[in-house]
Amino acid sequence: MQSPDYSISTPENVDLHLELAGIGNRILAALIDSLIVTVMIISIFLALILLALILEHASSISLPRNTLLMVAFMIAVFLSFFLMFGYHILFEGFWHGQTPGKRVAEIRVIEANGQPVGWAAVCIRNLIGFLEVILLLIGVLVMLIDRNERRLGDLAAGTLVIRERKSELVTADIKMLTGAKVDALLDVGRITPEEYDLLARFLKRRLKLSNTHRPLVAKRLETYFREKLGESQSTLVATGDEGDGAGQLVPVQEGAESFFERVFLSYQARGQEA
């Protein structure tokens, strides 16, 4: 039986172990997304029928009814094709590899190197995915053969689908030591639950680490997470007396553990809002 794990070793020697989504979860997500698209398309054509009924009893419209119906029908067909092609592309692009169906199934598309999926990869995997639908079960067959459960679209785009479980790590007893606060501008959606667990475990156990190992581990994690989030090592801090209007924002070097706490608190706040 194939292992459900996918391991990534980063240049910073941080090992990430991800769980592959599995065919069952991917089929569940596909069924949910297909149902949503079908309902939306049916709604469009029901609106077209309603328009036809309105035009049938309208007497104040100067344009020919047949012309209006033809234009409305063309718009309905265009919207239907747009939904069929653009639904997955738009959701996976804006939701960092998830659609409503994938969110319900708790799975996510990522790039093979563990980074969030980009627009180019999203477009490639979904355009090829449409061809797989035309070729019937070819995508499922490839998933059964590939050791990482990738279909043709994933192979072409360099992506894979992982299972995204909510963290089971108890974080209530993690103490904040640096006074860090929630950063609403921090894009913590780029962090997977597995990476959040890794960060939380360090914050929970850091006081038990020796003075030699603690800064070394912190430096490796800091390099990885700053690159993942696109964050520099300096942050802007206001200077001057409070309320005098003379304060300025100056860049200040941010410590690794202060950065970790800021990421940790921001991720928690995002989870409470969801």
Q: pLDDT, tens digit, for every residue of 12-23?
A: 455 667 788 888
Residue 150 located in a structural domain: yes
Residue 243 located in a structural domain: yes
Residue 180 located in a structural domain: no
Residue 226 located in a structural domain: yes
Residue 59 located in a structural domain: yes
pLDDT of 243 strictly over 70: no
Q: What pLDDT, on the 0 to 100 scale, is given for residue 3?
A: 47
Q: What pLDDT, on the 0 to 100 scale, is given for residue 63?
A: 58
Q: Which two tokens stand for residue 135?
A: 């070729």
Q: Which residues pair with 235 in a beta bridge?
A: 252
Together in a domain, 11 and 108 = yes
Are 236 and 203 a contacting pair, CB within 8 Å?
no
pTM of this structure:
0.64
Task: Among 113, 130, 163, give the residue marking a domain's end.
Answer: 163
Q: What pLDDT, on the 0 to 100 scale, is given for residue 1?
A: 38
Together in a domain, 207 and 123 = no
Tell me the CA distances in angstroms from 43 to 38, 197, 207, one per residue in order: 8, 42, 58
Together in a domain, 243 and 145 = no
- The mean pLDDT value for 6-35 works out to 78
Are 256 and 222 a contacting pair, CB within 8 Å?
yes
Percent of the chain whose predicted confidence (pLDDT) is above 90: 19
Residue 88 located in a structural domain: yes
Q: Which two tokens stand for residue 89?
A: 């592309």
Are 240 and 246 a contacting pair, CB within 8 Å?
yes
Enclosing domain of residue 67: 5-163
Q: What pLDDT, on the 0 to 100 scale, is given for residue 84?
A: 87
- Total of domains in the chain: 2
Residue 176 located in a structural domain: no
Q: In this predicted model, which residue has the larger pLDDT, 173 or 274?
A: 173
Together in a domain, 36 and 136 = yes
Angle at 252 between CA 226 and CA 233, to 5 degrees: 15
Q: pLDDT, tens digit, for every residue of 205-233?
A: 888 888 888 888 888 888 888 888 888 76
DSSP assignments along the chain, one per residue: ---SEEEEE-TTS-EEEEEB--HHHHHHHHHHHHHHHHHHHHHHHHHHHHHHHHHHH--S--S-HHHHHHHHHHHHHHHHHHHHHHHHHHHHHHTTS--HHHHHHTEEEEETTSSBPPHHHHHHHHHHHHHHHHTTTHHHHHHHHSTT---HHHHHHTEEEEE-PPP-S--TTPPP-S-----TTS-GGGS-HHHHHHHHHHHHHGGGS-TTHHHHHHHHHHHHHHHHHT--SEEEEE-S-TTSS---EEEEEPPHHHHHHHHHHHHHHHHHH-
Residue 205 located in a structural domain: yes
Per-residue b or e along 209-228, where b marks 16 or more CB atoms closer than 10 Å to that residue's CB: eeeeebeeebebbbbbbbeb
pLDDT of 11 strictly over 60: no
Together in a domain, 146 and 10 = yes
Q: pLDDT, tens digit, for every residue of 152-202?
A: 889 999 999 988 766 555 555 788 888 888 888 888 878 877 788 888 888
pLDDT of 150 strictly over 80: yes
Q: pLDDT, tens digit, for every residue of 75-126?
A: 889 999 899 889 999 999 998 899 999 999 989 998 887 778 889 999 999 9
- The mean pLDDT value for 36-62 works out to 82
pLDDT of 2 strictly over 50: no
